[in-house]
Amino acid sequence: MIAAGKAVLVPGTNIDTDVLYPGIYLNIDDPEQMKPYLFEGLDPALRDQLDGDTVLVVGENFGMGSSREHVPLAMKAWGVRCVVGSSFARIFYRNCINLALPAITCPDAVKAAKPGSQISVDAAAGKVTVDGREFTAAPVPPFMLEMLERGGLIPWAQHKLAQS
Amino acid sequence: MGYTVAEKILLSHSDADRVEPGQVVMVRCDVVLANDVTGPVAFRQMEKMGTSAVFDPSKVVMVADHFAPAKDERSAILIKRLKDWSLEHGVVFYDQGRGGIEHTLLVQEGWVVPGSVIVGGDSHTCTHGAMGAFSSGLGSTDIAYCLVFGEFWQAVPGTIQVTVSGEKGHFVTGKDVILAVIGQIGAGGGTGNVLEFVGPGVQSLSIDERLAVSNLAVEAGSETGIFPADDQTAAYLDGRTEKAWQPVHSDPDASYSRRIAVDFDRLGPLVAKPHNPENVVPVSEIVGTPIHQVVVGNCSNGTMTDLRQAAEMVKGKRVHERTRMIVVPATQEIYRQAVAEGLVDILVEAGASISTPTCGPCFGGHTGALAPGENALATINRNFKGRSGSPEASVYLGNAYVAAAAAIAGEIVNPAEVAS
């Protein structure tokens, strides 16, 4: 699975789910309606950069805290194609995989990326390219790769239901 | 090579012949939980999967607790959706006035037994590790899959063994044990691991206190915090559940990714400073910090033990004029018992407001949001920026003694000073 887009940098370590999508807006269950609140507690101006295909570049332990899927749902609704990070919190990571939003661990690419950098990610090959420079990412386990290739847990479930 | 508790439970709930950290397995669920925030999103995902059939309605629990009582129309619609879906699918639904905060409630109602697998659309599902279960907080798409198939994918975690020793001092609780761990390994230090609590000091932690410990396991990045079942677990479950269970313990030759220790002999009350639960310091380091709101409650510390500790601190005293004190019994049953024991009267007489069970003040949803510049000392589990209202407010985390003492003093204070 290849994902590509323009880099949007989300600086800082331990960026938590509450600043990414504050709790007061959790009484929304339609992803389109979640879009205006993404990054609301961190830096609302980041939303202005979410124009077209984008790749978020994030620091260590990104997405720590809540299980709220509102964060990756809103990211997908904005056209985010991939998240490249130094490391990810567990539930955020699995939410991304389930929604077929690749979350790729590659600290070297994070260091190299600048705002607007062209980034492409080949999850299967474990490569991240930033403005033409190639970096090696942490390998994505085969199960997660298959989940991404299939389009996430919903198509996975549809396939399983069709078999039974 | 032997297995840890987590590995044994995952092995018994999967088709794998053996398990090792990192291996991905499909794990069967004994309980699937969701609430008014995560349930409706999961139902949407289920619809996209093309089915409305639930794998086993007797294993599904829905709880209205986050925006309950509904703070506005949008919240009321979500709660109605949760209720209607639950009735339609024949699953257990706890409405306001009939249940409480999901994690405390599930344990209280006997849903959780040692050796079982509990999944919930809420990150604090890790709480159930206190009962010797493997419990995992999941997102809504995962929950949708669990509702349909009764299973979820799981990378087998490593295990960090936490040995607790020494004699627990007055005003020191389970909350301080887990804050000590988070301070030691950091907010991401437990990622890819469960915490397993062992050692002689575990005996001095009641089930209520273990719930607080396990509740904050996710604040160290861990999947859950497991207390292998012991006599206290058995005594607690006696008459509370009809589910059959067996204690699960780690093998002597089990492999751990890390071993750490917490020594009660060297542990006083702790506080986590804003805006990250890993910013842990002894109370003595930050005495004098003005406090405008105190919250005792939430899925970490809204138990009878916590309400008794808070009442002990405020009995015969008045909440400081600078400070609001909000007490949230975690369940209806706890609320009733607190009334019966006279705790509610003590707290109200001191100037505290008592709330119906709800998650509201913890996640900034309602019932106790903070204004810019205000400081709160709360027994909740997160002090993220903006967690409980304004991003320009500050939340300090501590146990119920520390919180109630701050309510009386109007500032952070060593609880021993208020008690004397």
Statement: residue B80 has pLDDT above 80: yes
Task: Find, in chain B, the residue whose alpha carbon is nearest to that of A28.
Answer: B74
Among candidate residues B129, B123, B126, the one with its CA nearest the CA of residue B142: B123
CA–CA distance, B202 with B196 (Å, rounded to integer)? 11
Mean pLDDT for all residues in chain B: 98
Beta carbons of A91 and B386 less than 8 Å apart: no
**Burial letters B156-181, b for 16+ CB under 10 A, else e:** bbbbbbbbbebebeebbbbbbbbbbb
Beta strand pairing call for B151-155 and B24-28? antiparallel
Chain A hits for B66, CB-CB cut-off 8 Å, are 26
Chain B nearest CA to A54, separation (Å): 23
For residue B291, the distance in angstroms to the closest alpha carbon of chain A comes to 22
Choose among A22, A67, A147: nearest Cβ to B139.
A67
Residues of A engaging B, defined by a Cβ cutoff of 8 Å: 14, 16-19, 22-24, 26-30, 41, 60-61, 64-70, 72-73, 87, 89-91, 94-95, 98-99, 141, 143-144, 147, 152-154, 156-158, 160-161
Report the pLDDT averaged over residues A70-97. Answer: 98
Structure tokens at B37: 């925030």
A157 to B67: CB separation less than 8 angstroms, yes or no: no
Number of A:B CB contacts under 8 A? Answer: 145
What's the distance, Cα to Cα, between the start and end of chain B in Å? 53
Residue B254 CA, chain-centre distance (Å), reads 27
Average pLDDT on A122-146 reads 97
- Selection from B110, B142, B192, B191 nearest residue B38 by Cα: B142
Q: How far apart are CA A142 and CA B132, in angstroms?
A: 31
CA distance linking residue B41 with residue B32, whole number of Å: 15
Provide, as residue numbers in chain B, all residues whose Cβ is less than 8 Å from the Cβ of A66. Answer: 123, 363
Query: Average pLDDT for residues B42-54, to the nearest whole number?
Result: 97
Pairing status of strand A133-136 against strand A127-130: antiparallel
Cα–Cα distances in angstroms (integers) from residue A130 to residues A119, A133, B104, in the given order: 5, 5, 47
| Confidence label for B252 from pLDDT (cuts 50, 70 and 90) | very high
Inform me whether the pLDDT recorded for B145 exceeds 80: yes
Q: Are B269 and B415 in contact (CB under 8 A)?
A: yes
Contacts of A60 in chain B (CB under 8 A): 188
What residue of A is the nearest CA neighbor of B23?
Answer: A141
Cβ neighbours of B282 (radius 10 Å): 14
φ/ψ of residue B331, rounded to 5? -140, 165
pLDDT on residue A45 = 97
Q: Give the H/E segment covering residue B61.
A: strand B60-63
pLDDT at residue number A164: 83
DSSP assignment letter at B169? P
Nearest to A65 by CA among B37, B153, B276, B146: B276
Residue B100's contacts (CB-CB under 8 Å, 6 or more residues apart) are: B63, B65, B94, B108, B329, B330, B331, B332, B333, B334, B335, B357
Across the interface, whether the CB atoms of B221 and A90 are under 8 A apart is answered yes
Encode pLDDT of B91-131 as tens digits.
999 999 999 999 999 999 999 999 999 999 999 999 999 99
Mean pLDDT of B165-187: 98
| Nearby residues of A101 by Cβ (< 8 Å), 6 or more positions away | A72, A75, A76, A80, A81, A82, A83
For position B415, what pLDDT does the model report?
98
Mapping DSSP to helix (H, G, I), strand (E, B) and coil, where does residue B163 land? strand
Residue B306 has pLDDT above 90, yes or no: yes
Tell me, rounded to whole angstroms, the distance of Cα B245 from its chain centroid. Answer: 22
pLDDT tens-digit readout, A49-60: 999 999 999 999
Q: What is the mean pLDDT of chain A?
A: 97
Note whether B41 contacts A70, CB cutoff 8 Å.
yes
CA B91 – CA B59 distance, rounded (Å): 8
3-state SS assignment for residue B2: strand
Question: CB of B158 within 8 Å of any CB in chain A?
Answer: no
Does B37 contact chain A (CB < 8 Å)?
A: yes
Residues B406 and A49: their CA atoms lie apart, in Å, by 43
Confidence of residue B296 (pLDDT cuts 50, 70, 90): very high
pLDDT at B28 over 80: yes
For residue B101, the model assigns a pLDDT of: 98
Using CA atoms, how far apart are residues B420 and B401, in angstroms rounded to an integer? Answer: 13
Report the pLDDT value the prediction gives residue A1, as an integer from 0 to 100: 76
ipTM score here? 0.98
Q: What pLDDT does residue A63 have?
A: 98
Say whether B49 and A157 touch across the interface (CB within 8 A). Answer: yes
Work out the percent of chain A whose per-residue pLDDT is above 70. 100
Q: For B270, phi and psi rounded to 5 degrees?
A: -120, 160
Residue A132 has a pLDDT of 97
State residue B30's pLDDT score. Answer: 98
B48: how many CB neighbours lie within 10 A of its CB? 15
Give me the mean pLDDT over the A141-146 stretch: 97
B313 Cβ contact list (under 8 Å, min separation 6): B400, B401, B404, B405, B407, B408, B415, B418, B419
Strands annotated E in A42-148: 54-58, 80-85, 103-105, 118-122, 127-130, 133-136
Q: Are B141 and A152 in contact (CB under 8 A)?
A: yes
Angle between helices B38-49 and B73-89 (to 10 degrees): 50
Angle at A35 between CA B393 and CA B49, to 5 degrees: 120
Whole-number pLDDT of residue B50: 97
**Which tokens go with B342?**
């006279």
Sign, Cα dihedral of B55, B59, B65, B68: positive
Predicted local confidence at residue B1, as pLDDT = 85
On the question of pLDDT at B420 being above 90, the answer is no
Confidence class of residue A75 from pLDDT cuts 50, 70 and 90? very high
Instruction: Give the pLDDT score at B160.
Output: 98
H helical segments located in B315-363: 332-340, 343-350, 360-363
In 10 A of CB A133, how many CB atoms?
12
Cis peptide, bond prior to residue A22, ω within 30 of zero: no
- Asked if pLDDT for residue A19 goes beyond 80, the answer is yes
Q: What is the Cα–Cα distance from B219 to B217, expressed in whole angstroms?
A: 5
